[in-house]
Amino acid sequence: MTMTSIKEDEVHTDGGLDSDPAKKEEPREFASGPTLPTKESAAAAKRRDRFFTIVIPLCVIACLIVVWHVMVKVNEVPHYILPGPSLVVNSLVSDWHILFPALLVTAKITLMSLALALLGGGGMAILLVQSRWIETALYPIMVILQVTPIIAIAPLILIYAPTTQTALLICAFVVAFFPILSNMVQGLKSVDHNLLNLFELYGASRWQTLVYLKLPSCLPYFMTGLRIGGGLALIAAVVAEFAAGSAGAGSGLAFRLLESQFRLNISRLFAALFLLASLGVLIFAITSFISWWTLHRWHESSVKREN
Amino acid sequence: MVIAEEGSQEKNMLSAREPSTSRPLVEMKHVSKVFSNGTVALSDMSMSVRPGEFISLLGPSGCGKSTALRIIAGLGGISQGELDWPSLRINARGLPDGAISFVFQEPTLMPWQTVFGNVYLPLRLKGISKKAARERITAALESVGLEEFDQAYPRELSGGMKMRVSIARALVTEPKLLLMDEPFAALDEITRQKLNDDVLKLWKSTGITVVFVTHSVFESAYLANRIVVMKARPGRVHADFPLHTSLDRDAGYRTSEEYRLACSEVSAKLSEAMGGGEH
């Protein structure tokens, strides 16, 4: 194609009336624009912003711990009712050999079930949107599975599963599966109709449409499913272990929680709780990071609004 | 009005064949289109598109302009009548094979792809490697003045620039027929005039055939050398007439007496079409 005349024309008019390129939405050139006096201060402001988003929550947590400590000391609360923070830290260190293996077990179940749920939920979603009949046939079953509380199904799963570990895995999977599935289905159905038309016009195959259009465009939905599913998998892993009531060396943090409760070892209970919360935060941080990393370049949700 | 379901006649299924020139690009004969909810979008519409024309499909909203354009593109079947692309290569599905490009009202870009990736799409779907496509993509981007923005993401661009990317994507396959569905309706007046001029220049320099849907009298009188005015409920052709001018269609033409006359002619036809269609 040889249409360079147009290009030249645009170059001339860019400085004048033309409303469009470069000026309206301060894009890329600004990165290298040395004339901007605000660049330095903007970077500094950004750094300060980031600093505060970390420091403020930490301060709040530190304050809460101090209040906790003072309340326990002043009111002389017995340690079997509410141990002070120092006692909890003590337990965390002295019982590390018990708690850490339990943490690993819970983490393993959570992550494995999440991985299975990602594969299963993603795959099932792709299958469901292929045909309305498949969806009609299978979707109600998915919903029933989802709305029945996992704690109620857990005893059944415990009977049929070969080992307790498998049962826990199944429970966590069932719970994490649905948000991923339903988000993916929603995403696959929300593909821009005009883009679908465009793919049809260019004679794209079903496979090309799936890989180049449907999967990328449902990525934000998938990421939402991942974040919800990650949190739910941990909850389900704990709940299922409560239901299983399994004991012994191979058990997870949930069992250690119950055990500490029975023995009135409240400081260890707090320590176990702390580890569970940390695991939850870690999963949330990782899934949020994955979500940000895959979407930040193009999706509105990951882009800071600039007006 | 009842139109029988004649599924077997939906498209005239010709086996794959080679194109011939000098015949019309598109031939619509007595085409009707009924949507699944019973709405009659088009009724007995006949129209042909000859090579080199710049046709403006003009009409009130809801008169089936966009539906007609989609039918011309081979998107969505027809309920009755005959539809053919006599001078285009037809693929096994009975549809034109790659010689038609479409520009939608929205830029319709993939937000997860860069400008380059978006323009690459039609070639990628044909199985052309990125390396082999690079030159054509660059040429297409140059033709809309965006060659420096190939690595930008759509959200970094203004509305007018996004539309340019959309046009570049349409041009990258070097189509014979460019279909535009109210492409600049959502843009401001200044950008719109600029892009109108760009499309005209493209049309002049490449000899591409354009069918341009709009509801603006001024736009169609400025751009087209043939105007098809449509009437609503059900959608059909009300008037089909050429619009010749001895002048160059540029900024000077906009203020000329000839343009004013053309506008009033088109406007009169449009009011006729609208008056007849309303109760």
User: Could you give the 3-state DSSP secondary structure of residue B36?
Assistant: coil
In whole angstroms, what is the distance from residue A23 CA to residue A263 CA? 69
Mean pLDDT of chain A: 83
For the stretch A128-159, pLDDT in tens is 888 888 888 888 888 888 888 888 888 888 88
pLDDT of A12: 41
Residues of A in contact with B149 (CB under 8 A): 21, 28
Predicted pLDDT of residue B11: 38
Question: How far is the C-alpha of A5 from the C-alpha of A3, rounded, in Å?
Answer: 5
| Predicted local confidence at residue A11, as pLDDT | 40
Interface test with A, best of B158, B164, B173, B192 (most A CBs within 10 A): B158
Structure tokens at A219: 């990525």
**Rounded mean pLDDT, B9-25:** 50
The pLDDT of residue A103 is 94
**Residues B206-224, mean pLDDT to the nearest whole number:** 87
Looking at chain A, the whole-number percentage of residues with pLDDT higher than 70 is: 84
pLDDT of residue B138: 92
**For residues B228 and B240, is the Cβ–Cβ distance under 8 A?**
yes
Confidence label for B211 from pLDDT (cuts 50, 70 and 90)? very high
pLDDT at res. A132: 85
Q: Is A76 helix (H, G, I), strand (E, B) or coil?
A: coil
In whole angstroms, what is the distance from residue A243 CA to residue A231 CA? 19
Look at strands B177-181 and B100-103 and give their pairing.
parallel
Q: How far apart are the first and last CA of chain B?
A: 17
Q: What is the pLDDT of residue A306?
A: 57
Residue B25 to residue B50: CA distance in whole angstroms: 5
CA distances in angstroms from B187 to A256, B64, B168, listed in the order given: 63, 22, 17
Helix, strand, coil: what percent of chain A each, to 5? Answer: 80, 0, 20
Q: Does the pLDDT value for residue A211 go beyond 60?
A: yes
For B165, nearest residue in chain A (alpha carbons) = A21
For the cut 70, the answer to whether the pLDDT of residue A283 exceeds it is yes
Could B111 and A299 be called an inter-chain contact, meaning their C-beta atoms sit closer than 8 Å?
Answer: yes
Domain ranges in chain A?
34-76, 84-297
Q: What is the mean pLDDT of chain B?
A: 81
**Alpha-carbon B67 to chain mean position:** 11
Least confident of A23-27, A233-237, A267-271, B264-268: A23-27
Amino acid A121: pLDDT: 92
pTM for this structure?
0.76
Stretch B63-82: mean pLDDT: 84
Tell me whether B128 touches chain A (CB under 8 Å).
no
Give the residue-averaged pLDDT of B137-141. 90
CB < 8 Å from A in window 78-107 of B: 91, 93, 95, 97-98, 100-102, 104, 106
Write down the pLDDT at residue A290: 92
Name every residue whose Cβ is closer than 8 Å to that of residue B167 and which is 6 or more positions away in sequence.
B103, B144, B183, B195, B198, B199, B202
Q: Looking at residue B22, what is its pLDDT?
A: 66
Domains and CATH numbers, chain B: 22-99+176-279 (3.40.50.300), 110-174 (no CATH)
Q: Which of A189-203, B180-194, B212-226, B238-252 has the lowest mean pLDDT?
A: B238-252
Q: How confident is the model at residue A1 (pLDDT cuts 50, 70, 90)?
A: very low
- Say yes or no for a CB contact (<8 Å) between B155 and A3: no
Burial class (CB in 10 A: 0-12, 13-18, 19+), B220: buried
Q: What is the DSSP letter of B188?
A: -
Q: Which amino acid is at B253?
A: Y
B78 pLDDT tier (thresholds 50, 70, 90) = confident
> Please, what sign has the CA dihedral across residues B13, B19, B25, B29?
negative
**In terms of pLDDT, which residue wins out, B98 or A293?**
A293
On the question of a cis peptide bond just before residue B234, with omega within 30 degrees of 0, the verdict is yes
Could you tell me the CATH superfamily of domain A84-297? MetI-like (1.10.3720.10)
The distance of B276 to chain A (nearest Cα, Å) reads 32
Supply the ipTM of this predicted assembly: 0.80
Average pLDDT (B86-97) is 76
pLDDT for res A250: 73
Among B44, B87, B55, B38, which Cα is nearest to B181's?
B55
